[in-house]
Amino acid sequence: MPDAADPASRIRAPAGRAAGAQGPARYVSRAAGSPLAALCVTEITSWGVLYYAFPVLAPAITHDTGWSTSAIMAGFSAALIVAALGGIPVGRALDRRGPRALMTGGSVLAVLAILGVAAAPNLWCFTAAWLLAGVAMSAVLYQPAFAALTRYYAPHHLGALTTVTLVAGLASTVFAPLTDALSAHLPWRGVYVVLAVVLAVVTVPLHLFALRRPWPSPEAVMDGQRGRSRDRGAMSATVRSRPFLLLAAALTLSAFAMFAVTINLIPLLISRGADASIAAWALGLGGVGQVTGRLGYRALARRTSVRVRTVWILAMSAATTAALATIPGPIALLITVAFLAGMMRGIGTLLQATAVSDRWGTASYGALSGILAAPITTATAISPFAGAALAAALGGYPHMFLVLTAAAVFAAVLAAGTAPGHGGAGRNRAAALEARPARHRDRE
């Protein structure tokens, strides 16, 4: 996205920054020139260290310490739940003060938390360190980054959100092999120390310097009749409104089904006759599908209303889950369906990222998206355990996938009531702003 087209680029950098700076100063200058570029780097690093390194190191942690796999997984899941709950106050604070202090402080806290994980002498300290990491996650992962990009780049924020999710989608591609390579030479504690250093060197300076631009006021990013600043009473009314509650329920159910499918895809494919290696490749192709889906989201947003888009995406997710539950083979066909399921999961990330701005504008994006994300992230955290428990109770993974299909279908039905208004043509306001003046937004 050219800087000239971005509101963020129109905010002047401090005059004291020399154009010909060299070395670290030049690095800082370039970072400060593009919040989008900086957040692409910090998101891939934060996700890689705080999220994707853990499943790679979990077997080594269990083997070295004697702690059970379920116990260490419970600590990690607790961190995700803390991140979900922490997103609510973080979103409110970000709306008022901007992302610089929050995301910089979150990066520092993340480094300390990972060092705490590495040094944990017992399971209780290990769990406490992960709970601290959960607080840090709420300040450095997608939600604060989405809020920052939405305010900095409005009304052209869809392109920025698409870019950062495309790049961050490579976090597992980069950090899973890197973590595995480090673990071949270091114990798991040493690997986490190295990753903490990487996290500190990359994310702290980028958040500190790239996000130092003045935080645009709500009035500076007006978007039609929804652009005015929202007081607390108006925001509370939005949160209690039927469309918001239905949206939260629909996205939570869909996220639960999507991530339970992802985590349990390998055992399902093995039960269908695939060997473990092929099943792992199928899971990896689902990640490629995520990136593919995100590439097509912008075109989809231009051609559909927010309600139609939401229902369609959730319904397609239900369809891929049903196909995995009912198709016995061949394995090649199941892998194709897994790729399509990955596409729906990738599109779902952008659907959630734009759900608030598409319906209620950008003025209170941080607070509203934090509230919306809390149940979604909680459902994501519990889905691995719930999915496995359902499979055991129902007598197999195909039956469990049928239950997930029912949940996904119900989510699509709920999504039909998530538009805040019912008049007009209902064209998507966020994507349309790429080509139309702001006053033509919000036709829902």
Q: Contact at 8 Å (CB) between 112 and 55? A: no
Q: Residue 138 and residue 89: Cα distance in Å, rounded?
A: 9
pLDDT at 418: 81
32-216 matches 231-440 in fold: yes
- What's the average model confidence in pLDDT over 226-249? 73
Q: What integer pLDDT is reported at residue 442 of this predicted model?
A: 38
* DSSP notation for 375-388: HHHHHHHHHHHHHH
Question: What value does the mean pLDDT take over residues 49-72?
Answer: 86
pLDDT surpassing 60 at residue 227 = no
Q: Give pLDDT, residue 176.
A: 77
3-class state of residue 187 by DSSP: coil
Whether residue 2 has pLDDT greater than 50: no
Is 221 strand, coil or helix? Answer: helix
Q: Domain-by-domain residue ranges, the chain?
A: 32-216, 231-440
Per-residue pLDDT for 430 more than 70?
no
Q: Is residue 115 scored above 50 in pLDDT?
A: yes
Cis bond upstream, residue 267 (ω within 30)? no
Which residues, including other chains, have CB under 8 Å from residue 422's CB and lie 6 or more apart? Answer: 444
Q: Is residue 354 a contact partner of residue 158, using CB atoms and an 8 Å limit?
A: yes
Residues 346-355 have pLDDT tens digits of 888 888 878 8
The CATH topology of domain 231-440 is: Growth Hormone; Chain: A; (1.20.1250)
Q: Write out the two tokens for 143.
A: 């939600």
Q: Determine the Cα–Cα distance for residues 65 and 43; give it in Å rounded to an integer.
A: 30
Average pLDDT over residues 269-279: 78
Separation CA 284–CA 282 (nearest Å) = 5
Least confident of 43-52, 284-293, 304-313, 422-431: 422-431
Cβ neighbours of residue 208 closer than 8 Å, sequence gap 6 or more: 100, 104
At residue 371, the pLDDT reads 83
The share of the chain scoring above pLDDT 70, in percent, equals: 81
SS3 442: coil
CATH of 32-216, one of 3.50.50.100, 1.20.1250.20, 1.10.3720.10, 1.10.357.10: 1.20.1250.20
Cα angle: 121, vertex 123, 125; to 5 degrees: 60
pLDDT band at 203 (very low <50, low <70, confident <90, very high): very high
Contact of 81 with 134, CB cutoff 8 Å? yes
How far is residue 15's CA from residue 380's CA, in Å, rounded to a whole number? 45
Cα→Cα distances 286→57, 199, 279, 280, 343, Å: 22, 27, 11, 10, 7
CA 26 to mean position of chain CA atoms:
30
Q: What is the mean pLDDT of residues 121-129?
A: 95
Averaged over 148-170, what is the pLDDT? 78
**Higher-scoring residue by pLDDT: 160, 173:** 160
Confidence class for position 238, pLDDT limits 50, 70, 90: confident
Average pLDDT over residues 102-126: 95
Phi-psi region of 98 (alpha: psi -120 to 50; beta: other; left: phi over 0): left
Q: Which residues contact 183 (CB under 8 A, 6 or more apart)?
A: 56, 57, 60, 191
Give 15-57 pLDDT, tens digit per residue.
Answer: 333 333 344 344 434 444 588 889 989 999 998 899 888 877 8
